[in-house]
Structure formats: structure tokens, C-alpha cells
Structure 1
């Protein structure tokens, strides 16, 4: 008999699983909904100010031990919803031999050392903790801050309001400690598509994201989608129970790593450019043209997030070395940069790195400080917001290749400042936007929204379409039309840099 240990997200207790647990039991499984310490929803919950993540891990361990006793004891499947994945992973790490599978139910992907505050839907929660060390629960429309409420009836929302309990803040701030990988055992992701990307979004990560996400293509990892909001145990208990039973049976969609490589792992730059030495100055590398006198410069800004341990780093990759050498051959200084976009919460760090790199670049005597362009790629596109909103006079244009121009629906960790479409106005510098025809749909939606704003505001945007190109095409699509797109975009950037000289 499969035993499901069900751990809910913040502010809720075992009661939230009532209908799902009943359906699992009718299907012949055992179900153990867990009410974590302090989450009972009664007066005792307010006395749990010392409760932390380790307390909740202990609660799950006791449920595992209960599920694993008796004559009918069978495989244990741990299910963690939202915050609940943190105590689930902690308990699975300590009872590795007892756990048949871990199910991430609309949850993040924390690892060793990560606090839950970096993954819960509302990143401001910790700041709302009172002197008693408790985060007050949301009510009414406030539940939407914690995820889509699509599918919830008025009675469901009223029940959430009535039974919600304050969340002990230390459960959100104490780091998760693991001795192994969360993926050392079979794993299933259940994605709620009304709250964020579904399986296609995971495929996008495998195609264009950091290599660390490739674990999601392991043969022991499966996926299910539910067309509902963030609380499927209330809005879709039947489909959720079916998905959990399917997960226990090793069913679901399995993914594979696409043949297309990431830009930093590709076979080289798509243009044949001569070798040219570079000079390293702290975070930037300069590729200098042969022309005399101060020259305009193009600073290339990589996308991400990337792993801090990634080798080669972006500026050492053939991809960005090729771009630096190419524009130097056109008579301008090519500049490459490594910045610290290691996670979705790191955009402020990356923006600071970019600003400091520009300041350093403009002090070089071989660079014309009044003629600078930015050329930004992929997930780095969000960094364009600062420069579109308040452009300095020396910024002559912003080029964007297959950019992400708004946070995706589940990128809740991205600071509100990084919204290029909202920053774009008629006063923004000229934009040269290269659009890949085979772009990932969620990325393409952000580009479409950006172009709609450009049309409405009269902002200057030159659009270069490459119908047969994929995201990161310079490394993987060495075609005549992709080569033409790069040469056309570079010519446009140089034209903006040299206009009026």
C-alpha cells in the first residue's frame, strides 16, 4: 500500500487536504495529512514563536514513521506544497531509505542552505512578522499574493480565511540543510498552469537555462500539469489525487535535454572572425579596434541566471569572444562582462555590476565616454529597464537579442524595478531588437508586450526578425539568415554610435 504524507504550504494545516486524502483512500492508498507545529488554526498556534524549519522537519519525520509501521506499510510518497517542500526535503534527507518519491506541488526548487523566504510566493512575508515572531495570514483578496486563486469558490476562500494560522517567521528564515541532492530519489513535479508556466516552461529551462536545471531531465523525474490555481487541493481535488496516484506509479511526462546547446556551451560563434587579443580590467574584457583615438564602445551583457561555478564564464565563452572581436573589427571597442545574475533575486546585484562596468569603461582613455551602447541577451533583458527609464545622454542605443522583457508569471523573486516594458517611453534610447522566430512562447509573450508599448508610446524600436532562429541562435543556428541578422544588428548599433560625429 502506498502511503502519501501530505504537507501543505504556509498558513494552512492538514485540513486543506481533506478531499484529496479521501480520494486517495478510496483508491486503496493510505493518506497522512500533516498539520505542522503552530499551524493548527486555533489559539494554540499563537504560542509557537520558537517554531522553526527544523521543528516542521520533525513533524514530517513523525508522519513518515507512522506511515511506515504496521502490517500494510508500503512505499512512502512525500508531497510538499509551496513552503511544504522545505520540511519535506529535510525529512526525505533524514529518512532516505524510506522515501519512494518526493512530489513538488506548485513548489520551488530549494537546495542546501536555502531559506524558504527565497521561494515562497510573497517575498515580503518576513518583513510583516510581528514582535511575536509570527507572520499574519492573508485574508480575502490578499490570498492572491500567495498564488493564483483561480478555481477557488467563495466558500473555499472563506474556509481559508476561517482556518488560516499565523506562520512562525523562523520557518521561513532558517536555511534548509541537506546532506545530498534533492534529486537523489524519484521526483515528480505537479505544475499548476493558472499560477505559472507548465511543462513547456520546464522545457524552456532545459533549452536555455543554466546547466543545473538539467537534473529535471533525469529519467527518475516526471511531471504533471493541472489547469488550476495555486491551491489545487481545494480547487481540483480529483485531478490532483489522480496526479498523485500517477506519480506513485512512476507515470507522468519525462523530459530530455534538447540537442541545442546553451550559448556558453555551443561550438563557437556563427561568424568567422579573426583572432584578436583582449585586455582584462577587473570584471570587463576589452577588444580594441586598430583605429586611433577614443572610440565608441559596445558593452555586451549576458543573460541568465547562470551558475556561479559555470566554466567557461560568459566573457570567456566563444559566444561573447566572437561578439567582442566582431565589433572591434567594425571600428568600435567590444566589451564583455561577467555579472552576478546567479538567481532570480540577483537582478539588483547584476544591475550594480553593470553600472560599475559602464563607469569603469567610460574612464578608459581609448573609449569615447559619450558614445556607449548596451547589447543585452536573453534573461539579461530585464536589466535594460534602468537604462530605458532614465537614459544618460552618452547611451546611444540598446540592442536586445531574444530578450526576456518582463518577469514570467512565476518569477516572483524578481524585484519590481526590472520591468523594461513599463520603463519604455519615447525618451528611451533607440532599441535594436532581434527576435527569434522559434522563441520559447513565454519569452515571446514578453517581447510582444514590449512592442505594443513601443507602438503606443512612439519609442524607437528597430525589429530584426529571424524566422528560423532559436533562442541563443548564435551558438546553434549557423544559417545565412542568422549571420545576416547579426551583421545587420551590429551595423545598426555602430550607426547609432557614430551618428552626428
Structure 2
């Protein structure tokens, strides 16, 4: 028999698991929900993360004692949702020999020495709590969300009005020390097989993880271990409320060791981002200055100032990835194409290593642009910025109040609104809100038909806002194209889309 031990996240308690637990029980499983001290009516002074780890350990030990008492055996699957993964992982580190699997349910990846605070989705609140920690606020509580505030903690996609009402009415404050106390791990829990269940409406997907693993970041290669599996649920952050039957089935499959496995970076051959550009272009040499590479047309020598296109890579890209994005073939390809057409092409490295890095990356890009404009071969009054993929939110910086020298803004398979689990709600990095200030700035947007639904929704939100305010947006469609189509889809339609997009941008520069 499989015994599932379910650990709930912030502000919630065992009540959130009722429907899922009923379905698991009906399928023959044993189910236990952990009542975390200091939440859902269990009040106590001095509650911290170690308190919650002890709560989980008590349930594990109880299940083991019952199994031994009747002479039977149980496979124990420990499930942690949201914050609940932190006490779950802490307990797994101390009872690894008794667990069959740990399931990370739309949660972060706890690390030794790192408090749960680091995984909070709301970045502004995270910074505020970090300040509180410096003045010893360990005995305080974080108030539970009001009904219209749950989206700060994750996507509410799929929740009915009644479910949201009940979630709010039963919510309890979160003891601050549970978020501020660093997690202590010995490493023993690493031996327990794991499963990640990703809620795609909250901004995560298996394909995204595979992309990150494919970049070669050593820290992410553990996700490609054969003992790690993944599932997706097309819903928001609370699947036990929005799709309990589907969640129960996924948990049963996870207990059986099923799920999708990721491929390690060294097993996929040439990763897509390092595939050659799909067009044959002149081998124009690069000139490296600071964090930018310039591709300068030969005719620029002594022929006056030329317009420039600055190509901005997406991300987040883990720090230390080699080669760095400004040397990736697809980005170099766009820059060289511009140079072949008589325009200075530029690629740039910026420090978007995590979703918390958007302010820093935006500053890097602004500094790079000024470096380009200061080059004596560049016409400082004729510059275009071209954003790709995860750099899309940074377009808001330029859309809100375009400078006169910005002649065109381009975006290719961009993310044009923060994902729900990024914690950027209310931030300045929201292009759909910023486009109202774009005025007459031309925007060239390359949209792929086979985009992930979550990213496609941000593009449609942006286009709707642009239409409403009368912004000048030209859409280049690639109906059969994937995210990163220049590397993945080497078709005539892809080549034609690149030609159209480049010519549209250069037309605005040369006008």
C-alpha cells in the first residue's frame, strides 16, 4: 500500500487536500495530511521551520509505527506544495530510508542554508521581509491574503468563486520564522527519488526546464537524473482545489515511478541555441567592447555614421554559461544580417540570470545602448532595439517613454508579461501596460504559432492593449514556428519570417 503524506503551503491547512485525498483513498491509498503548527488553528509560540519539520517527521514516524505494528509495509510518498516543500525536504533529509519518493507540487527547490523566503513569488514582499529579518521580526506573522490578493502568491487559474471564497475564509497567517529560518540539510535526502508536478498556468513547464538543462548549467543537471520525473497540470497554483481528480491521478503515477524524464545537456547533442543560423550570411568579423559585440559593415569606414540594431538575448540564462549569449548563432545571425544590409549589428550580454534580475538586466542593456550610440561610426539618432524571448518584459522600459533616437522596437517570440510565479505583479516590467506610452514608435513583433500557451497569452494581452491605444505594431507570423524557430525549424517559412522581420526593422531605421 502507498501512504501519501500531504504538506500544504502558506496560509492553508489540511482542508485544501480534502477532494484529492478522497480520490486517493478511493483508489486504495492511505492518506495523511500534516497539521503544521501555527497555521490553520494550531497556534504556538516560537514556531519556525524546524517546528514544521518536526510536524512532518511526526507523521512519517506514525505511519512507520503503524506499518510495523501490523506486520505490513508501506511505500511512503511525501508531497510538498508551495512553502510545504521546505519542511517536507527537511524531513526527507532525516528520514530518507523510510521514503519512496518526494513530490514537489508547484514549488521551488529548497537548498541547504537557504530560507523559504528566497522562494516567495512576490519579489517586493520578499525584499520587505528580508528587511524585517534584519531587525529580528522572528516572532511576527504574515497576514493571510484577502480574496483579491491570492494572485500575488500564484495563478488562481481554474479556481471557482466558491473555492476562492473558502480558501480565503479558512486562510491563516504564516509565522514569519518559518520563512526566515535557513533550511539545514545533510544531503541524505538526495538519495530519495523525486517528482516535480508543474502547474503550467503558473508559468512553469517541462519544456522550459529542459531548455534550462540544455544550457549546460551544472547546478541544473540533477534535474536530468533518471530518478527524477515530471508531470504537468494545465491549471493554476492550487491544483488540489482546481483539478483534484487529475492531481490524484498524477500523484498515483508519480508513486509508481512514472513521468517524463529530462535529457542531460551532454545527451542531446548540439543544444538548440547553438545550432547554426538558418541563413547563409557573410562572415563579418566582430569587434568586442565591454559587454557588446559589434558587426560593422565595411562601407562604414569613412562613409559617415550608420544606424544600429542592438540584439538583446532572452533568459533567464544561468551565470557562467559558455558561450555567453552574445555568441549564440541565432543572435549573431540577426546582427550579421543587419551588417550585411549596411547597418551596425550589435549583440549584448546582460545579467538576467534569474527572474529577480530584471532591474539589473535592464540597467545593463541601457548602458550597452549608450556604449553603442557613443561609437563614432554609429548614428546616435537612429537605433533599433530587438528583444528576444525572456527579455520581452524589459521592452516596457522603452515603450513607456520612447527616446527620440529609438526608431524601432522589435520583439521575437517574446514574453510580454511577467509569468504568475515570477513575483513581478505591479512591477514596471509589464509591456501591455507600458505600450500606452509608445506613441508613434514602430513595433515589429514576430509571433510563432506553436508557442507555449502561457507565453502566447502574454503576446495576445499585449496586442490587445496595443490595439486599444492605437500603437503601431506590425506582426510577422510564423504559423508553424516554435519558440526559437530560427534554430528549431529550418524551413522556408522560417527563413521568410526572418527576412520579413529584418527588412521591417531596417526600413524604419533607414527611413
Compute the TM-score of the two structures, normalised by the length of structure 2. Answer: 0.83
1:314 corresponds to 2:325 = yes
Change beyond 3 A, Cα 1:131–1:9: closer
Change beyond 3 A, Cα 1:202–1:225: closer
Q: Identify the match of residue 352 of structure 2 among 333, 341, 352.
A: 341
**Cα distance between partner residues in 2 of 1:181 and 1:261:** 34
For residues 327-380 of structure 1, the C-alpha deviation after alignment (integer angstroms, 9 at most, x for no partner) is 222222221111111122221121111111112222222322211110111111
Alignment partner, residue 2 of structure 2: 2
The 5 Å alignment of 1:377-392 reads 377-392=388-403
Q: Identify the match of residue 57 of structure 1 among 53, 58, 71.
A: 53
Aligned-pair distance for 1:461?
Answer: 1.8
The 5 Å alignment of 1:120-199 reads 120-126=120-126, 127=128, 132-147=139-154, 148=156, 150-151=158-159, 154=162, 157-158=165-166, 161-162=169-170, 164-176=171-183, 178=185, 185-192=192-199, 196=202
Change beyond 3 A, Cα 1:469–1:233: closer
For residues 96-127 of structure 1, the C-alpha deviation after alignment (integer angstroms, 9 at most, x for no partner) is 33321111223234445654334334445453
**Cα distance between partner residues in 1 of 2:140 and 2:97:** 35
For residues 380-418 of structure 1, the C-alpha deviation after alignment (integer angstroms, 9 at most, x for no partner) is 111111101111111111111121212234443466211
Q: Which moved more, 1:128-137 or 1:82-91?
A: 128-137
| Contact 1:76–1:98 (Cα < 8 Å) also in 2 | yes
1:489 corresponds to 2:501 = yes
Change beyond 3 A, Cα 1:263–1:376: farther
| Contact 1:137–1:167 (Cα < 8 Å) also in 2 | yes
Gapped regions of structure 2 (runs ≥ 5): none
Q: Which moved more, 1:141-150 or 1:487-496?
A: 141-150
Alignment partner, residue 304 of structure 1: 315
Aligned-pair distance for 1:435?
Answer: 2.2
Q: Identify the match of residue 429 of structure 1 among 441, 446, 455.
A: 441
3-state SS of paired residue (2:360): helix
For residues 461-483 of structure 1, the C-alpha deviation after alignment (integer angstroms, 9 at most, x for no partner) is 22222333322122233333323
| Contact 2:163–2:241 (Cα < 8 Å) also in 1 | no
3-state SS of paired residue (1:470): coil
Q: Identify the match of residue 62 of structure 2 among 66, 89, 99.
A: 66
1:279 corresponds to 2:287 = yes
Alignment partner, residue 273 of structure 2: 264
Alignment partner, residue 84 of structure 1: 84
For residues 291-339 of structure 1, the C-alpha deviation after alignment (integer angstroms, 9 at most, x for no partner) is 1233221111001111112111101222223333332222222211111
Gapped regions of structure 1 (runs ≥ 5): none
| Contact 2:147–2:164 (Cα < 8 Å) also in 1 | no
**Cα distance between partner residues in 2 of 1:366 and 1:341:** 29
**Cα distance between partner residues in 1 of 2:233 and 2:331:** 40
Change beyond 3 A, Cα 1:383–1:228: closer
Please report the RMSD computed on the Cα atoms of aligned residues, expressed in angstroms. Answer: 3.4
**Cα distance between partner residues in 2 of 1:435 and 1:19:** 40
3-state SS of paired residue (1:434): strand
3-state SS of paired residue (1:442): helix
Alignment partner, residue 246 of structure 1: 253
Aligned-pair distance for 1:38?
Answer: 2.3
| Contact 2:78–2:101 (Cα < 8 Å) also in 1 | yes
Change beyond 3 A, Cα 1:182–1:409: farther
Change beyond 3 A, Cα 1:390–1:176: farther
Alignment partner, residue 206 of structure 1: 210
3-state SS of paired residue (2:100): strand
**Cα distance between partner residues in 2 of 1:386 and 1:228:** 30
